[in-house]
Structure 1
Amino acid sequence: MSLKFFLKIYARLLAITAAVLVLCVLLFNGINSVRGQYWHEQAAEPLMRWLAAVPDPARQYHWMPSLFGLHTLLPEQLQDAPVLAERLAYGQVVAEPAGTGYRFFVRAGDGSILGLALEQTYPELTRALALLVRWHLDTANPQQLNHVSEELGQSLNVSIGPLQSADQLPDQAVLQDLGDRGFSVFHEGRRASVLLRLSEGDLVRMTMPAPFNPWGWPMLVLLAAVIGGVLALGLYLGLRFVDGRLRKVEAVAVRIARGEMGARVESEAGTLVSRLASSFNGMAEHIQRLVQVQREMIHAVSHELRTPVARIRFGVQMIESASSPETMEKQLSGIDGDIQELDELIDEILTYARLEQGGPVFSLREGSVTDIARQVVEEQRQIREGINIECRIDKASERWALADMEPRYIHRAIQNLVGNAARYADSRVVVNCQLDENTCRIDVEDDGPGIPEQDWEKVFTAFARLDDSRTRTSGGYGLGLSIVRRILYWHGGQAFLGRSDELGGARFSLVWPRRKPVDSVL
């Protein structure tokens, strides 16, 4: 995986994560503002309804105005707040943010508007309810205390009950506060509880409803749904993108199967399937080339086979009409030569086909390049009489003679070049070996007529022949140099042609890496 592709995916994941976080924060704040408004109104509603039912709450609960901002408004004073007035007209308890706290409004029975101001809603609401409950319990008949407690609890949405055992007593700090103020607020979990001491000395416990929880299960479910939805959308878009690219590859594969060998996948750099598209295009090009080579081979082989087969047929006819043993012997000798030519042609075709269609499995092993070069030169000297074949290897190259290669095929490549050079040379062929730590190079030069520069690539094409001195009259089938190039290809190198500065003829060069990775398989 490329670093560019990794960074691109990583950036997209960061962008999705940031988008999810921003969306969650916006939803959390927006929905909680509505939930908080609703909770404030629901939490304060029992107290506000109770106060609205009292004829003169400011007088009856004389501590309310000073401690909790209890006040009375006329409906005319709400002309600047039509929404508030409308909601109050429907009998709703309304909560409005005011600075650091909330203001609560409710319409009283006489038509006036009763208001309450709480800076910290839950703690101050707890204190207000505690004072109101204690006042009513202190003024109640002792025989009706339980009935009054039950009525207050139902009306004010709190739980009220006497403290019946010492095990229910809170810690010492709460008891100390109780002695100073007559009530003490403490918490058990998230809920607030108030311990009240009545005028008769009885202890009563009041438990409040749970405070507002911004992380309530509805919010958690919503956030989980949002996160899951965004991730699902991102996954869907990603898979859709990949699926679209794979469908393009599939479509091109179908076109190739129908015979459109030139069809290719449009490769987009940096995408998830770009490497697949590149490999697929490489495979398609290889298949197209193999099909083209196959067609050329079929055409060329059929052409190459005609001449020796025709000569053999002619020789057989001559034997049938031969009048002397000498004539028959001559024809049999010619037929034997034609059969030998067919055998060599078939061997060349099979070798070229194996190399062109994927090549053999090369088992690279260490061998001496210089020893192979000397062996080839010695073999060619014996069969190329009249041609001076020289092998040049300096001491520096001898030091790096051992290389990773397939000796049989390297031998075949050098042999084809030396034999080809000796066939067209006037009198001299030179084989130069230049080896270093990283590269093996062998140059085969001759003093023949050379090859025009415009034909330097053509000579490596299968069954290719030139129109100059290198014609079929000199022998060969036009496969030798093609085999050489494929051998070098499977060794990770290349074969190329130039002009010999020393001898003036052609110079064929083989270059390939001296070492391959340990796990390399060609």
Structure 2
Amino acid sequence: MIKAFFRIWILVFIPLGFLLFSESMNPIKMMNHWFVSDRVNETFKGTFYLIEQRLAALPEEQWQAEIHALADYFGYELYLLSQEQIQQAEQDASQAQVGVVLSEDNQTALLALPPNETLLILADNDSDVLVKRLDASSWWLYMMLDESEYLDTLNQSRGTLHLLMARFQETDSSYWPVLIAQLQPEFGFELAVSPLSQLGLSPEHHRQLLEQGIAWSLKEDASTVIYQRLPDQHTVEDPMILVADRIPLPGPELTILALALIILVGSISLGIFLFIFVLWRELNRLKAATSEFGKGNLQHRAEVKKGSMISELSQTYNRMADQIEGMIQSQRELTNAMAHDLRTPLSRVSFAFEMLQSADTTEEEQARYRQSIASGIDTLDHLIQQILALSRYSRVADITQFREVAFAKLLEQEIVQSRIEHPQLSFDLSVAPELSDQLIKLDARAMVRLVNNLLANACRFAASNIRVTLTVEGNSYLLNVDDDGPGIPESERYAVFEPFKQLNNEQREVSKEHGLGLAIVQQIIYWHQGQVWAEESDLGGARFCVRWPILCP
């Protein structure tokens, strides 16, 4: 069970982990990027046209300022990149300006982009970026379709910073430290006011504060620090900066993500374990049942519960066990009956040999004993042949023996032979017109034996008339053999197909019949996936009906 659990666990979580954590080779992201590429290009085709027309009316040195002005009207980042900026896209300064990190493959694709063409790429920070190379220039118009971490952080803090700036606007700068002390207890993060020169910011953050009035950075503990230039500090050489430290931005902490991932993995693992455990327990029950059956407890069966995952398997096993038990029981009965039928002729032969060795027997008695020995040997030979035939047809059908034959012709030939052997009886054959020349797929040798056994049984009991009919009923062939004999009592109509079962047991002493003929008929028709039964005939005697399905050629 443990091995099966780990195998399924690995098969589930390796693809899941690949889908969750793989960036460059994630098939879902790649397919989504491929499907939306044309749609995005068509959507922003007109936007890029208008921007190009606007830039064309201005000197090239004013393009950057114009793009910065237009970016305020878009909900995402808009930049004008030069070839040098694209090649240095992995540097900190360019990353802060552009908002994404471009891989080497993406950089190569952008630099190779023909003029006036657009390209949708997936940046290394999992953002969709639409880039168009401006016609007749070395500039690329860059539009980030997903909100960057920079904009996301600013949007989350915009309202709070606006309210704080309003309080600082209402307060004289000399009382700002007092204001900070009043506000600090109401906030869940640290507030402080400090000159820009004392913050020790990077050149890029220093530039952002001077140009945009705001900057932010991410600390090692996943908290965010936001720097906001205070009001009325635009012309001050060393402006005062509001520092909001240890803000839990821009998203959930890693511990929360890890906990969510653990819950997800644990839930799926528990489901896999319960599935494997239930299946393992049911398979163990089936294993125990097969072990008991193999030890000789033929009545033991597998427990089949409603809704079980292996209910069909258990039912199939129980049916197989029923068939094996029935076959073994039948073989036991057959063995017992064989012992009884073999004992009588063997006793006769043994007695005859003893009498032949006696000095008191006359020539006439010796001839009679020799005849008894010969008759006993013939009886034993016939019995052995019948037992071998029954054994042969008790096995699984050999489909390779099935051939397309004109069964109606074979049936007619067997009836002709029966007329010769029994001239005192009248035989009537009736075959459906559509079957007179039709080829039927069956085991010809076995079916000839079936017909012979049925005819022999009918000739044995018929008074004067025997009738044979061959017709089609639905998807099956139907063969009936009727006689005008004494018939079979309804209570014995199933028993006559049992091996060594005879209704007139007194004839065993003088007849070669051993009650195997109809048993062989039953096995042959089972071989053909059909059935045989006995019923009352309108001739007054018995009717034996044989039905088997029509097999496709």
User: Which residue number corresponds to residue 365 of structure 1?
Assistant: 403
Which residues in structure 2 correspond to 1:117-128 (within 5 Å)? none
User: Which residue number corresponds to residue 422 of structure 2?
Assistant: 384
Judged with a 3 Å threshold, the aligned counterparts in structure 2 of structure 1 residues 514 and 359 are, in CA distance, closer, same or farther, namely closer
User: Which residue number corresponds to residue 506 of structure 1?
Assistant: 542
Judged with a 3 Å threshold, the aligned counterparts in structure 2 of structure 1 residues 337 and 297 are, in CA distance, closer, same or farther, namely same
User: Which residue number corresponds to residue 517 of structure 2?
Assistant: 480
User: Which residue number corresponds to residue 374 of structure 2?
Assistant: 336
Q: 1:345 aligns with which of 367, 383, 391?
A: 383
Letter in 2 for 1:365: R
CA deviation string 1:214-259 (max 9, x = no partner):
4443223222222222222222222221222222222222332343
Question: In the aligned structure 2, how far is the partner of 1:394 from the partner of 1:472?
Answer: 41
User: Which residue number corresponds to residue 10 of structure 1?
Assistant: none
CA deviation string 1:245-288 (max 9, x = no partner):
22222222233234322111222244221112111111211221
Contact 2:382 2:512 in 1 (8 A): no
Question: In the aligned structure 1, how far is the partner of 2:440 from the partner of 2:429?
Answer: 19
User: Which residue number corresponds to residue 420 of structure 1?
Assistant: 457
Contact 1:396 1:436 in 2 (8 A): no
Cα offset for 1:333?
3.6
Q: 2:413 aligns with which of 371, 375, 391?
A: 375
Which residues in structure 2 correspond to 1:156-235 (within 5 Å)? 160-161=201-202, 169=207, 178=212, 183-185=213-215, 194=227, 199-201=235-237, 211-235=248-272
Q: 1:244 aligns with which of 244, 268, 281?
A: 281
Judged with a 3 Å threshold, the aligned counterparts in structure 2 of structure 1 residues 430 and 162 are, in CA distance, closer, same or farther, namely closer
Cα offset for 1:387?
1.8
Q: 1:492 aligns with which of 529, 533, 536?
A: 529
Letter in 2 for 1:515: L
User: Which residue number corresponds to residue 317 of structure 1?
Assistant: 354
Judged with a 3 Å threshold, the aligned counterparts in structure 2 of structure 1 residues 328 and 215 are, in CA distance, closer, same or farther, namely farther
Question: In the aligned structure 1, how far is the partner of 2:403 from the partner of 2:238?
Answer: 102
Cα offset for 1:295?
1.5
User: Which residue number corresponds to residue 445 of structure 2?
Assistant: 408
Question: In the aligned structure 2, how far is the partner of 1:231 from the partner of 1:514?
Answer: 51
Structure 2 counterpart SS, 1:160: coil
Cα offset for 1:211?
4.4
Cα offset for 1:208?
6.5
CA deviation string 1:414-446 (max 9, x = no partner):
211111111111111111111367211100000
Which residues in structure 2 correspond to 1:282-297 (within 5 Å)? 282-297=319-334
User: Which residue number corresponds to residue 443 of structure 1?
Assistant: 480
Which residues in structure 2 correspond to 1:73-152 (within 5 Å)? 106=185, 115=186, 132-133=193-194, 136-137=195-196, 145=197, 149=198
CA deviation string 1:315-348 (max 9, x = no partner):
3234445877665554434322321211111121
Question: In the aligned structure 2, how far is the partner of 1:200 from the partner of 1:434?
Answer: 114
Contact 1:308 1:342 in 2 (8 A): yes
Structure 2 counterpart SS, 1:497: strand
Contact 1:398 1:435 in 2 (8 A): no
Bigger drift between 431-440 and 329-338 goes to 329-338
Structure 1 counterpart SS, 2:515: coil
User: Which residue number corresponds to residue 340 of structure 2?
Assistant: 303
Question: In the aligned structure 1, how far is the partner of 2:291 from the partner of 2:487?
Answer: 47
Contact 1:58 1:70 in 2 (8 A): no
Judged with a 3 Å threshold, the aligned counterparts in structure 2 of structure 1 residues 500 and 458 are, in CA distance, closer, same or farther, namely same
User: Which residue number corresponds to residue 471 of structure 2?
Assistant: 434
Structure 1 counterpart SS, 2:469: strand
Question: In the aligned structure 2, how far is the partner of 1:64 from the partner of 1:470?
Answer: 128
Cα offset for 1:372?
2.5
Question: In the aligned structure 1, how far is the partner of 2:507 from the partner of 2:485?
Answer: 10
* TM-score normalised by L of structure 2: 0.59
Cα offset for 1:396?
2.8
Cα offset for 1:509?
0.7
Structure 1 counterpart SS, 2:337: helix
Question: In the aligned structure 1, how far is the partner of 2:402 from the partner of 2:244?
Answer: 87
* TM-score normalised by L of structure 1: 0.63
Judged with a 3 Å threshold, the aligned counterparts in structure 2 of structure 1 residues 435 and 369 are, in CA distance, closer, same or farther, namely farther
User: Which residue number corresponds to residue 281 of structure 1?
Assistant: 318
Contact 1:369 1:403 in 2 (8 A): yes
Contact 1:192 1:210 in 2 (8 A): yes
Structure 2 counterpart SS, 1:391: strand
Contact 2:508 2:514 in 1 (8 A): no
Question: In the aligned structure 1, how far is the partner of 2:216 from the partner of 2:262?
Answer: 36
Question: In the aligned structure 2, how far is the partner of 1:163 from the partner of 1:294?
Answer: 96
Q: 2:434 aligns with which of 372, 396, 414?
A: 396
Cα offset for 1:364?
2.5
Contact 2:454 2:481 in 1 (8 A): yes
Judged with a 3 Å threshold, the aligned counterparts in structure 2 of structure 1 residues 256 and 64 are, in CA distance, closer, same or farther, namely same
Question: In the aligned structure 2, how far is the partner of 1:384 from the partner of 1:359?
Answer: 33
CA deviation string 1:456-497 (max 9, x = no partner):
111111211225898775641112111111211121110011
Contact 1:439 1:513 in 2 (8 A): yes
Contact 1:58 1:71 in 2 (8 A): no
Question: Structure 2 unaligned runs (5+)?
Answer: 1-156, 158-169
Question: In the aligned structure 2, how far is the partner of 1:317 from the partner of 1:378?
Answer: 45
Letter in 2 for 1:383: E
Letter in 2 for 1:306: R
Letter in 1 for 2:423: E
Judged with a 3 Å threshold, the aligned counterparts in structure 2 of structure 1 residues 195 and 509 are, in CA distance, closer, same or farther, namely same
Structure 2 counterpart SS, 1:465: coil
User: Which residue number corresponds to residue 355 of structure 1?
Assistant: 393
1:515 aligns with 2:551: yes
